[in-house]
Amino acid sequence: MKHTPASPQAEAKTEALSDNPFAQLPNWFTEREVIPLEDSLALVVCHQTMRQIVALCRHLAENPAPVLLTGETGVGKSLLCRFIHASGDPYAPYVSLLTAGLEAKVLLARLFGPGECPDECPDDAAPGEAAPLMREAAGGTLVLEEMGDLPRAVQKRLMDFWDGGPRNGGPHVGGPARLLCATNTPPERLSAPGGLLPEFLARFRRIHVPPLRERKDDIPALVAYFSRLGASRTESLKSLEALAARLADHAFPGNVRELESLMALESGGLPWRWRITGGEKACCVRPPVNHAPKASKTTAPRRRKT
């Protein structure tokens, strides 16, 4: 059999591949960005939109203006809040408060201290022993989670605080706290009648985080990251890409948080298809219970009634 010599272009390509060991790696592996935030906590991005959001967050970290992050539950808004904080001064205080469903008097007392209550909230604020969060986060970052239903009294008090009005709360050690807000309420509902005050919304630099189903380039990078955390063995790139390809057909209503849960179960050996759809033989997995044999008891015979 006659051997056909390779073309000069093919030889050059083969030589380039041998010189560059990363040339055959997938794009999601070489282009991903893993930004460590804390132990076992990192921001993983690969999709172009998320890269732009990360670049914007880096820019906003240098600006003291408040930031509002919107997006579905589990898209990574809390991680982006931590990233903005870490991009500024990672050693400054970082305080987070879940505001969903809390009344105005409770929020005002928690943020500014007991007895802090304007005319819109006639009842006295509930007393508390903890220091006001504005003081606790002074010089750092205060995050209000799920603030889509923030009471108007709190919105007005925050605007007065930003403006440095007569009720600005006095001096703060290290400077006032930087405010970051996050909500899963759609942006159009926030600005609709009955939503947040227009003048309150106008104070924020807004970032909308797209759901995972709209940025599927992030799925392989996230699968690799969660697999590294949860699996006891080293996964190959081929197996990770095969798993990511199967998961790409799923809509992920829980977004990144759901993917993390699926990967935790994947490392435990539970078939991923059952976790998503329930399968034809969905089951509830329970740990085996060892029943110790009961000790025999000798009882006296019952006395018959006469």
pLDDT for 292 beyond 60:
no
Query: Could you confirm whether domain 48-209 is CATH 3.40.50.300?
Result: yes
Q: In the structure, what pLDDT confidence band is assigned to residue 237 with cuts at 50, 70 and 90? A: confident
Q: In the structure, what pLDDT confidence band is assigned to residue 18 with cuts at 50, 70 and 90? A: low
- The pLDDT tens digits for 34-68 are 999 987 889 999 999 999 999 999 999 998 899 99
pTM of the model: 0.74
pLDDT for 212 beyond 90:
yes
Break the chain into its structural domains and give their ranges. 48-209
Given this model, what pLDDT does residue 162 score?
87
State the DSSP string of the chain.
Answer: -PPPPPPHHHHHHHHHHHH-TTTTS-HHHHH-EEEEEETTEEEEE-SHHHHHHHHHHHHHTTS-S-EEEE-STTSSHHHHHHHHHHHH-TTS-EEEEE-TT--HHHHHHHHH-TT---TT--SPPPP-SSPPHHHHTTTSEEEEES-TT--HHHHHHHHHHHHT-TTS-S--TTSPPEEEEEE-S-HHHHSSTTSS-HHHHTTSEEEEPPPGGG-TTHHHHHHHHHHHHH-SSPPPHHHHHHHHHHHTTS--TTHHHHHHHHHHHHHTT--HHHHHH--TT----------PPPPP---PPPPPP-
pLDDT for 246 beyond 80:
yes
